[in-house]
Amino acid sequence: MSIIIKGIDDGKLLITFPYSEDRVRKIKTVTGRRWDSISRAWTVPYTMQNLKKLSELFEDEDITWRNLKVRPDMSGTDSITEGSLTKEDVLTAFTNYLKLKGYSRKTIKSYSNHIKRFLDYIQDKIESIDVQNIHSYMLLLLEEKSCSHSYVNQAVNSIKLLCEGVLNKGSIAVSIPRPKKESKLPVVLSQEEVYRILNSLQNLKHKSILTLVYSAGLRVGEVVGLKIKEIDSKRMLIHIRQGKGRKDRYTILSAAALKVLREYAKTYRPDDWLFPGSSEGRHITERTVQKIFKEALEKSKIRKTVTVHSLRHSFATHLLENGTDLRYIQELLGHKSSETTELYTHVSRKDITRMQSPLDRIIQGIEE
């Protein structure tokens, strides 16, 4: 009986073979393999990398391939068996690959959207992707679409993962250049502007959300995902579970923010999620919070180009200006690198306001 490798609907490969210790040992070397006790077979994610791996592992045996769009032949090149590789095949395999690598749901969504746009650009040339295709796409983003360097770098990250983990073209990924990282300073709100924004909100739920974002330096995704049990009013701490980079951390709970939260809880009586959404069992969405901030900005008549994330930037900058050590700010924000936190030294008024412009000195000297 031959080894049967079959593509199934949920983005997996089903592998069946007569039992032998050698075959089991080989299949256990495949990333993401699982034993399915119901079908009495092994499953692995349906990726080009795994197709190649299985072909190599069992090259001395008779393999029967079923329901596959692409089959790796023994020469190391891909041959089309049932039509061309489709965009849907690639996206499914790419999503599964990112899940196996432990990427967050938000990152998977972002990277998958980059790959959708890239595949739309190259159209029907999926099997023949080369460095030139990628270079021309990057130039399109940079020159014609005027995308930021950080956006293009994220697109490059996505394409590299596609080449390495799905299309088995890791050698191409090495040759992809990156646009130089832009040095941009965050726009920071003054303490008076923050007060105006928070004071413009009449809705207690909306006010509680933005108050927490600023007072604790939270990301939007962190504030919407808070649960009641993560507010520790005795220790005056907020427990952020699985923030960016899948890291837990604690940040400060402001006494003023706690007062607003207690008023909110008394009125709205949340049960599990601190800020439940319109759908039962779900929390409020990030988009809703962005809309809340935009409306508050208009009411407070602030003309700066800022987003909800600017409240987090302002939290860090104001802490620095008040004399808080950068190392503590880094911990509160959950930054992996101290270099990220050091950015706030460039927007802080702490030392700049002590300086006097030479023009002021000249005018003062003449007037005296």
Has 219 been annotated as catalytic?
A: yes
Question: What confidence category does residue 79 fall into, taking pLDDT thresholds of 50, 70 and 90?
Answer: very low
Instruction: Answer with the residue of higher pLDDT: 39 or 284.
Output: 284
Question: What confidence category does residue 78 fall into, taking pLDDT thresholds of 50, 70 and 90?
Answer: very low
Would you say residue 85 has pLDDT above 70? no
Would you say residue 77 has pLDDT above 90? no
Would you say residue 59 has pLDDT above 90? no
pLDDT score recorded for residue 334: 87
Of the candidates 87, 149, 205, 244, the residue annotated as catalytic is: 244
Tell me the C-alpha distance between 302 and 189, whole Å: 9
What average pLDDT does this structure show over 331-358? 73
Would you say residue 294 has pLDDT above 90? yes
**Token representation of residue 202:** 């009449």
Has 312 been annotated as catalytic?
A: yes
Has 244 been annotated as catalytic?
A: yes
Of the candidates 309, 318, 354, 361, the residue annotated as catalytic is: 309
What average pLDDT does this structure show over 260-281? 92
What average pLDDT does this structure show over 37-57? 82
pLDDT score recorded for residue 301: 93
Per-residue pLDDT tens digits for 127-157: 778 888 889 999 999 998 988 898 999 999 9
Instruction: Answer with the residue of higher pLDDT: 210 or 168.
Output: 210
Question: What confidence category does residue 366 fall into, taking pLDDT thresholds of 50, 70 and 90?
Answer: confident
pLDDT score recorded for residue 256: 93
Residue owning tokens 């990057």: 138
Of the candidates 12, 160, 206, 312, the residue annotated as catalytic is: 312
pLDDT score recorded for residue 81: 38
Would you say residue 289 has pLDDT above 90? yes
| pTM of the predicted model as reported, rounded to 2 decimal places | 0.61
Of the candidates 97, 214, 264, 344, the residue annotated as catalytic is: 344
pLDDT score recorded for residue 353: 58
Has 6 been annotated as catalytic?
A: no
Would you say residue 288 has pLDDT above 80? yes
pLDDT score recorded for residue 345: 75
What average pLDDT does this structure show over 116-125? 85
Per-residue pLDDT tens digits for 219-256: 999 999 999 999 999 999 999 987 676 778 999 999 99
Burial class (CB in 10 A: 0-12, 13-18, 19+), 285: middle
Of the candidates 53, 219, 283, 318, the residue annotated as catalytic is: 219
Residue owning tokens 């299309």: 167
What average pLDDT does this structure show over 74-95? 60
Tell me the C-alpha distance between 197 and 220, whole Å: 16
Instruction: Answer with the residue of higher pLDDT: 358 or 203.
Output: 203
Has 335 been annotated as catalytic?
A: yes
Instruction: Answer with the residue of higher pLDDT: 358 or 116.
Output: 116
Q: Lowest-confidence range among 174-178, 249-253, 280-284?
A: 174-178
pLDDT score recorded for residue 367: 67
